[in-house]
Amino acid sequence: MTAPGTAAGPGTPAHDGSRSLYTYFRSSAAYRVRIALGLKGLDYEAIPVHLLKDGGQQLSPAYREVNPFGLVPAYAEDGRTLTQSLAIIEYLDERYPEVPLLPGSAWERAQVRQLALAVACEIHPINNLRVLKYLSQTLELPETAKQQWLHHWMQSGLESLEETVVRMGQGGDFCAGSAPTLADCCLVPQLFNARRFGVDLTRCPRLLAIDQACAARPAFQSAHPDAQPDAA
Ligand SMILES: N[C@@H](CCC(=O)N[C@@H](CS)C(=O)NCC(=O)O)C(=O)O
């Protein structure tokens, strides 16, 4: 299966069959990598891993051979495998530097990484599927308590992120200026998640404006969960 909307364009390396992404349409971590691949015009084979079917295909012994953590995404290239979306995106940025996802100066790169890490380390992990499953199945928290947990951590995290972006004070349509970066690759999937769970985003106007600017770009459109071949 070849991912939609990532056909090679002018100046783009042709798909040589060597890039594969283990992905699930609604995985926000896989969504980050799909955006990065799209921004760089890199075609890839999408290998679907259904997080709910068969008790979670990510937990199967076969998939744990790919990623011992039992999480998507995993990225394979030339017979080697990488996990962790941010490590994958930074690898892609170094290996295929034509459309940079990190800015020029050390300070600016650190600013972009602080936003990406805020999503990947502070907001996303505590609301991940396995955490929510543990709350409901092991701790037997009622659905309302689970929802309260999710809304609390996602909303407070996104509001702090909004404040961080505003304080950075950079103009342009995106998190850090006039071109999408690693930070936008992380923000957009997290906002998709927040909307999916009905989180109140009214105190995040700057993030919502950035999301709108991203939505106009083909790379973000083709990476969207609804555009994935494995979308239910
Ligand atoms: N820090 C990891 C997070 C990966 C992750 O949590 N993936 C989720 C989907 S967004 C997953 O596979 N969840 C399966 C589960 O919780 O069982 C990354 O950035 O790649």
Q: Is the pLDDT of residue 4 over 50?
A: no
Residue 77: strand pairing partners: 19, 80
Confidence of residue 91 (pLDDT cuts 50, 70, 90): very high
Residues 6+ away with beta carbon under 8 Å from 149: 126, 127, 132, 135, 141
The dihedral sign for the CA sequence 133, 148, 49, 187:
negative
Q: Is the pLDDT of residue 134 over 50?
A: yes
What are 175-232's pLDDT values in tens digits?
Answer: 999 999 999 999 999 999 999 999 999 999 999 999 999 999 999 999 999 999 999 6
Confidence of residue 17 (pLDDT cuts 50, 70, 90): low
Q: Is the pLDDT of residue 71 over 70?
A: yes
Query: Residue of the nearest CA to atom 5 in ligand 1?
Result: 71
* Residues 151-161, mean pLDDT to the nearest whole number: 98
Residues 6+ away with beta carbon under 8 Å from 185: 32, 33, 35, 36, 39, 89, 101, 116
Confidence of residue 6 (pLDDT cuts 50, 70, 90): very low
Q: Are residues 117 and 72 in the same domain?
A: no
* Joined tokens for residue 58: 């990510």
Q: Are residues 160 and 93 in the same domain?
A: no
> Does 5 or 228 have the greater pLDDT score?
228
The parent domain of residue 80 ranges over: 19-99
Is-contact 32 186, C-beta < 8 A?
yes
Q: Is the pLDDT of residue 3 over 80?
A: no
Question: Is 51 close to ligand 1, i.e. is its CB under 6 Å away?
Answer: yes
* Residues 84-94, mean pLDDT to the nearest whole number: 98
- Counting the structural domains of the chain, the total is 2
Q: What is the mean pLDDT of the chain?
A: 92
What are 159-169's pLDDT values in tens digits?
Answer: 999 999 999 99
Does pTM top 0.85 for this prediction? Answer: yes
CA–CA separation, 58 vs 76, rounded Å?
16
Q: Is the pLDDT of residue 8 over 70?
A: no
Position 231, amino acid: A
DSSP-assigned letters across all residues of 130-196 = HHHHIIIIIS---HHHHHHHHHHHHHHHHHHHHHHHHHHT--SSBTTBSS--HHHHHHHHHHHHHHH
Report how many helices (DSSP H) and strands (DSSP E) the chain contains, helices first: 9, 4
pLDDT above 70: percentage of residues in the chain: 92
The verdict on residue 142 lying in a domain is yes
* Residues 110-126, mean pLDDT to the nearest whole number: 97
Best residue for ligand 1 mutational test, from 72, 75, 191 (most atoms within 8 Å of Cβ): 72
Q: Are residues 171 and 199 in the same domain?
A: yes
Q: Are residues 215 and 121 in the same domain?
A: yes
Question: Is 58 close to ligand 1, i.e. is its CB under 6 Å away?
Answer: yes
Q: Is the pLDDT of residue 2 over 80?
A: no
Position 15 scores a pLDDT of: 43
* Joined tokens for residue 59: 């937990």
φ, ψ for residue 31, nearest 5 deg = -60, -40
| CATH code of residue 65 | 3.40.30.10
The verdict on residue 7 lying in a domain is no
* CA of 26 relative to ligand 1 center, distance in Å: 11
Query: Residue of the nearest CA to atom 9 in ligand 1?
Result: 27
Question: Is 222 close to ligand 1, i.e. is its CB under 6 Å away?
Answer: no
The verdict on residue 1 lying in a domain is no
* Joined tokens for residue 47: 């290998």
The verdict on residue 205 lying in a domain is yes
CA–CA separation, 38 vs 140, rounded Å?
40
